[in-house]
Amino acid sequence: MITKPGEDWLTVEFHCHTRYSRDSSNRVEALIHEARVRGIDRLAITDHNTIAGALKAKALAPDLIIVGEEILTQQGELLAYFLTEEIPARLSADETIARLRAQNAFIAVPHPFDRHRHGWKMDDLLRILPRVDAIEVFNSRSFRRALNDKALFFARQHGMPAIAGSDAHSLVEVGFARTLLPPFADADGLREVVAHSVIHAKRLSGWAHIKANMGVALGRVAANFGKTEESA
C-alpha cells in the first residue's frame, strides 16, 4: 500500500502502451480497467508515434487519460503529454520539440541512456535539455539498474524534475512505476507541480520480462486473427 504525501495527491502512470503500438498487447478497454483496479488516478498513454489509442481511451475515460505519445526523433526518443496533434517519427529533435512546444505539450526524455532503446548521446541530450520539462529517471523495462541510476544522477546534476514510467506493453506491467504528484489538470499545471514528484517503482524481473513479452506476442497473434486495429 502506497501512502500519498497528501490526500489529494495523484498517482500517475506516465508511460504505457496499447495495441496501437505494434509491440504491445494492451487493449484500450482492458488497460483502462486495469489502471482503475490498481489505483492509478492518471494514465498517460504514450504509444509509439501515434496518439490514436490515447484519443480512443480519452473518449472512454476522460477523467483518467492523458493523451501522450512516445516519439522517435533522429537523435533519440521523447515523451510528450497533453497532445492535441500527433507528431510524426524521425524528424530532428529540434523540429519535434518545436512542434510540441507549439501545442504547449509537456516534454520528457524516456530511458535517456538506454542505447538499445533509442537512448541519447550526451551532447544531443545536453543541447535539448533547456527545452524539455522532465527526465524519466526510472523505467521498469530497463534491464540494468545502472541505466536508471545514471538517469537519476543526471537529472539531479542538472536540476531537472523527475518522473517514472512502467513502459507497460502488457497488462501485468501497469503501475510498476508510479509518480505521485499534487493535483494538475494540464501541461502548465504539470510543470508547476512536477518538481515535487515522489516515485514508487520497481523493475520488471528477467523472468517477468520474458512472460510479459510472451503475453505481448500472443496478444499480437490473436489480434492478427480476425481483429482489426479499430478493436484495439
Give 66's contacts (C-beta < 8 A, 6+ positions apart). 42, 43, 44, 45, 54, 81, 82
What is the pLDDT of the chain when averaged over all its residues? 91
- What's the pLDDT at 2? 77
pLDDT for 78-111, tens place per residue?
999 999 999 999 999 999 999 999 999 999 999 9
pLDDT by residue (tens digit) across 152-192? 999 999 999 999 999 999 999 999 999 999 999 999 999 99
| Alpha carbons 179 and 166: distance in angstroms, whole number | 10
CA distance 196 to 59: 29
Distances in Å between the Cα of 66 and the Cα atoms of 46, 112, 218 are 9, 22, 27
The pLDDT of residue 210 is above 70:
no
- Please report, as a single letter, which amino acid is at residue 123: D
Q: Which residue would you say has higher pLDDT here, 104 or 7?
A: 104
Domains and CATH numbers, the chain: 10-225 (3.20.20.140)
Q: What pLDDT does residue 53 have? A: 98
- Percent of the chain with pLDDT strictly greater than 70: 88
What integer is the mean pLDDT of 130-135? 98
